[in-house]
Amino acid sequence: MWEEKPIYSSKLTYLKIPYYNSLLSKKIEGIVRTCPNIIHLNFENCVGFSNRALNQLKAYPNLRYLNLCHSGIMGDKALCRMVGLCRKIKYLNIFFCQGITNRSLIKIAESCQALQEFHFACTHLISERFISHILNLCLNLRRFSILGSCRRKNRCDILVEKHFTLEKHLNVEKHLSVEYLDFGRCVYVAETSICNTIHSCLNLQYLNLNFCEITDVIIKEISCLCLYLKHLNLEGCVNITKEAIDQLISFNPNIYVENFMNSMDMRAELDQEIRGLYNTRHRVGNIQNSVLSQIYRDLIPIHL
């Protein structure tokens, strides 16, 4: 009797295996051996993705897309070796991948100059040198996210100021191609640095400034310069007035402003919550008193 054998297509180019808890290096070896033409890999949330597994990806020199978001702990050496051979990557996501330092980030910038989209988060020790490399070498970069990574006072301000801003000393305006910029929770980036960033990124379509210490000054700059901006996240930005937002929308009626709430709105919401808690407590107290009164009335005939 003829038995059907499993077919492994050497023409497979796209592979997505998210949320897989035991993606061991042996399985990666099997994928590399049977699918040699992969150019798109998505291992998002594959907990346990190891350095050995990362080393296997060197077999894909034509890799264009790699998503390792939340994929565990990986070292600088393995990541450096991988990107050193996979130089055609255009999309790289290493959000919340532990064990990554400035060394491998600089290697990414030097090796993957075709990079168009790069995401990483909570890499607290990023340096000025890395930001310089990624912006000066990856000229096609469109989407750049450093969520929660600028948490060192002074250092983060230096790196943003120098490399997202105009080249004033050369009298040459440096306009970047970045369309997506995420400064979320970069609490130590000064307003002047963000302002200069806006001057350099005129093609911005998405801007996340949640929990950044900004005022109406930034909103006015956005109104005048970011004519293509479609999405603005202002969660936790309490020093912005409604008048500034109204002016922004009048300049750009197609913009979506997310999570805007000024200090007056926050106070009003807090007052409402406090009143709600007070009323709830008051109602509970009345109910308790009513129940106790009923129990007392029921007990009186028994004693008599």
Picking from 144, 147, 231, 129, the residue whose alpha carbon sits closest to that of residue 189 is 147
8-141 and 144-284, same CATH topology: yes
* Mean pLDDT across 287-291: 67
CATH topology of domain 144-284: 3.80.10
Task: Name the nearest CA neighbour of 115 among 75, 142, 84, 77.
Answer: 142
- Residue extents of the structural domains in the chain: 8-141, 144-284
Question: What local confidence, expressed as pLDDT, does residue 1 receive?
Answer: 40
pLDDT of 154 strictly over 50: no
DSSP assigned state of 172? B
- Work out whether the CA dihedral 165, 169, 170, 171 comes out positive or negative: positive
Please give the single-letter amino acid code of residue 145: S
pLDDT-derived band at 97 (thresholds 50, 70, 90) equals: confident
pLDDT at 166 over 50: no
CA distance 59 to 254: 45
Contacts of 117 (CB under 8 A, 6+ apart): 90, 91, 92, 93, 141, 142, 143, 144, 180
Distances 54 to 66, 233, 298 between C-alpha atoms, Å? 11, 34, 74
Pick the CATH number of 8-141 from 3.80.10.10, 3.50.50.100, 1.10.357.10, 3.40.50.300: 3.80.10.10
Averaged over 204-227, what is the pLDDT? 93
Which whole number is the average pLDDT over 169-193?
71
Q: What is the mean pLDDT of residues 115-134?
A: 73
> Which stretch of 31-45, 124-138, 263-277 has the lowest confidence by average pLDDT?
263-277
